[in-house]
């Protein structure tokens, strides 16, 4: 799971140049690259959320088991 979090950080760090190009230098093609990377972040975030939920569910005791 840490790998996915590190991937998110790397994507964000890599976007910095395109953010400047799009907003400061007004280069439109940088906007397309930003949108692509934001979509990758969305997908990776969804995977990370799913992994976290699975781990949380594994940690919870089952409520279906009768207490002794």
What is the model's pTM?
Answer: 0.76
State pLDDT tens for residues 31-67.
Answer: 999 999 999 999 999 999 999 999 999 988 766 666 5
Q: Residue 16's pLDDT band (boundaries 50, 70, 90)? A: very high
Whose CA is closest to 2, among 46, 52, 37? 52
Closest C-alpha among 49, 50, 51, 22 to residue 37: 22
Gap between the Cα atoms of 68 and 14, Å rounded: 55
pLDDT at position 66, please? 60
pLDDT at 2: 86
């Amino acid at each position: 799971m840490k790998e996915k979090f590190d991937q998110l950080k790397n994507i964000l760090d890599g976007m910095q140049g395109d953010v400047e190009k799009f907003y400061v230098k007004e280069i439109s093609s940088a906007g397309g690259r930003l949108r692509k990377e934001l979509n990758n972040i969305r997908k990776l975030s969804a995977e990370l959320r799913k992994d976290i939920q699975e781990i949380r569910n594994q940690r919870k005791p089952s409520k279906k088991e009768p207490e002794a």
